Amino acid sequence: MCWGVPAVVREISGDFAEIDYGDGVLRRVIIGISEEKLKKGDLVIVHAGVVISKLSYEDAFATAEMLRDIARTAGESYELLEHYERILRLSKEEEDEVR
């Protein structure tokens, strides 16, 4: 089992991408998927410094909604929910800049 973390693509250079996990720190990772072209603002799953899949905005939003419901039911705030909310916001900002 591996732990893949959602991130936003900020820049692309050849087989590498600069990604942001939502903390404002850019990290250089290897693009490990070839079946889908990546662009600035895309949501991706990163494991051990490698992009292993592309994540649709709709799927990330649905995950955030599920986490929000769990947090509301438990009466707590979850770090993972905050993470998803940050990357969704970053993705939208990148998309708006491209337009």
Q: pLDDT by residue for the chain (99 residues), tens digit each?
A: 678 899 999 999 999 999 999 999 999 999 998 767 899 999 999 999 999 999 998 998 898 888 888 887 877 767 777 888 888 889 888 877 766
Rg (CA), the chain: 14
**Phi and psi of 39, rounded to 5°?**
-140, 165
The whole-number pLDDT of residue 75 equals 74
The number of folded domains in the chain is: 1
**Phi and psi of 6, rounded to 5°?**
-70, 145
Token pair, residue 1, equals 């089992």
Give the CATH number, domain containing residue 23: 2.30.30.140
Helices within 1-99 (DSSP H only):
57-74, 79-98
Contacts of 54 (CB under 8 A, 6+ apart): 33, 36, 38, 42, 43, 44, 45
In which domain, by residue range, is 17 found?
5-98
Q: β-strand 5-13 against 43-47: which pairing, if any?
A: antiparallel
